[in-house]
């Protein structure tokens, strides 16, 4: 008799490989394909094993860290007003709109409505980063400003979740202190590992293992402190971004880290996220599901488009669509609400379904029809670690 538990890793491997082929064939983000394949598998009874769930959690943290390394800190300082306004209103309007509708119209209780507002106010940094890297826009001013604004949105979401719901304990303080200490020393002294002549070009990749260790420490202390490792991981990537720009060797390290991440770790994040959708439960409240989805899209549009048209004139629609995506924090918020007894299984499925749908549809539309085409330069690192310039074009179509 064949053990189905032993077959699941094989099915997972097939999904990862198949997603990459479909992505290349259709010219859309592999993240979208992985989410859809996970959702399809989930409807046929495929469930994530414990190792997949942990790997998915680590994948979300790793994507967030990588996104942080792409932020141009000098540009973020120069464009702080634009980043803050776009990011904050990207959070505020969906939060207020969804919470108000679910409380006053759908008659959810106050805590459930606040969970809904929090879950659907998010922008997925993981999806935005993945799409920008694949399309070649991560090194443009538009891409960097978009990621900076996304960071502000997710900071706001995390603060809302923490202030409204999370009950701190003694280990929460430990988590905060450990995070600050790790970030401080890593930002100041990581060059000792990156620049050590005896560690360069080693097949054992000590630099990557060092970064993995830091992220695993964040995850551990967050788990015991009722916190989220996403924020310190992003801040760490943000502060270490200079390390990855100083020399050709450090840029090669980042490229290798991307390769490792996209090979198996980040696919787990997207596939497992897709598995959490229950189509039968969504079907029982399909009207509310569609209302919540369009409510998120409309409030995101109002909160982002007009500011983006002012500050990112070459890519206002593209920015609005990508900032309408949700996945990481939306899933985290919904899962927190379910495990804490603040929402029921139907409400959870509705929120997760909207989160997943918002990760797929706006991203697909943005890539196929609204890729920015202008004169910004894209800096691409080749295999020798040298930088080549190329004019930005429609890489998604």
User: Residue 162: its pLDDT value, please?
Assistant: 76
Please give the helix or strand (H or E) that residue 380 lies within, else none: strand 377-381
Place of tokens 């919540």: 292
Name the pTM for this structure.
Answer: 0.76
What is the C-alpha separation between 180 and 164, in angstroms, rounded? 23
**What SS3 state is found at 51?**
helix
User: Residue 383: its pLDDT value, please?
Assistant: 38
Q: Is the dihedral of CA 295, 300, 306, 312 positive or negative?
A: negative
DSSP state of 344: -
What is the C-alpha separation between 275 and 297, in angstroms, rounded? 23
Encoded tokens for 76: 């973020």
CATH topology of domain 50-261+287-391: Na+/H+ antiporter like fold (1.20.1530)
Please give the helix or strand (H or E) that residue 388 lies within, else none: strand 387-391
List the domain boundaries for the chain: 50-261+287-391
**330 CB-near residues (< 8 Å, 6+ apart):** 119, 120, 122, 124, 351, 352, 354, 355, 358
User: Residue 200: its pLDDT value, please?
Assistant: 59
What is the C-alpha separation between 332 and 326, in angstroms, rounded? 11
pLDDT tens across the length of the chain (397 residues):
345 678 889 999 999 999 999 988 887 778 778 888 998 998 888 888 889 989 988 988 888 788 778 777 777 778 889 999 999 999 999 999 999 999 999 999 999 999 999 999 989 877 888 888 878 887 788 888 888 898 899 888 888 887 887 777 888 899 999 999 999 999 888 877 777 665 555 666 788 889 999 999 999 998 888 877 878 888 898 888 777 766 666 777 788 888 888 888 989 988 988 887 888 889 999 999 999 999 999 999 999 999 999 988 888 999 999 999 988 778 888 878 887 789 998 999 899 889 988 988 998 898 888 887 654 444 443 334 444 433 333 323 2
Which residues face 380 on adjacent strands?
A: 388
**What SS3 state is found at 397?**
coil
Number of H helices and E strands in the chain, helices first, is: 20, 2
What is the C-alpha separation between 396 and 370, in angstroms, rounded? 9
User: Residue 198: its pLDDT value, please?
Assistant: 58
Place of tokens 């920008």: 132
């Amino acid at each position: 008799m064949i053990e189905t538990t032993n077959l699941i890793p094989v099915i997972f491997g097939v999904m990862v490989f198949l997603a990459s082929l479909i992505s290349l064939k259709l010219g859309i983000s592999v993240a979208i394909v992985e989410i859809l394949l996970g959702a399809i598998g989930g409807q046929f009874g495929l469930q994530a094993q414990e190792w997949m769930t942990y790997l998915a959690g680590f994948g979300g943290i790793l994507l967030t860290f990588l996104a942080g390394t792409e932020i141009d800190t000098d540009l973020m300082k120069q464009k702080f007003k634009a980043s803050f306004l776009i990011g904050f209103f990207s959070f505020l309007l969906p939060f207020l709109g969804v919470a108000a509708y679910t409380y006053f119209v759908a008659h959810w209780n106050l805590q459930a409505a606040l969970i809904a507002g929090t879950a659907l106010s998010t922008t997925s940094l993981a999806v935005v980063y993945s799409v920008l890297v694949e399309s070649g826009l991560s090194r443009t001013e538009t891409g960097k400003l978009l990621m900076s604004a996304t960071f502000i949105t997710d900071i706001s979401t995390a603060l809302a979740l923490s202030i409204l719901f999370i009950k701190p304990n003694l280990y929460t303080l430990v988590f905060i202190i450990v995070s600050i200490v790790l970030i401080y020393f890593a930002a100041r002294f990581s060059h000792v590992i990156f620049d050590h002549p005896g560690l360069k070009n080693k097949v054992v990749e000590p630099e990557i293992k060092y970064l993995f260790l830091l992220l695993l420490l964040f995850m551990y202390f967050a788990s015991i402190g009722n916190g989220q490792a996403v924020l310190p991981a992003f801040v760490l990537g943000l502060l270490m971004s200079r390390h990855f720009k100083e020399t050709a060797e450090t840029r090669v390290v980042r490229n290798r880290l991307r390769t490792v991440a996209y090979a198996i770790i980040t696919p787990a994040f997207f596939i497992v996220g897709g598995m959490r959708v229950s189509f039968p439960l969504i079907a029982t409240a399909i009207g509310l599901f569609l209302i919540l989805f369009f409510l998120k899209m409309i409030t995101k549009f109002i909160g982002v488009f007009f500011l983006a048209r002012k500050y990112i004139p070459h890519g206002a629609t593209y920015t609005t669509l990508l900032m309408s995506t949700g996945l990481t924090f939306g899933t985290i918020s919904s899962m927190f609400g379910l495990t804490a007894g603040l929402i029921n299984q139907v409400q959870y499925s509705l929120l997760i379904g909207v989160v997943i749908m918002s990760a797929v549809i706006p991203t697909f539309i943005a890539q196929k029809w609204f890729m920015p085409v202008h004169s910004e330069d894209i800096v691409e690192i080749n295999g020798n670690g040298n930088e080549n310039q190329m004019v930005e074009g429609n890489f998604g179509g």
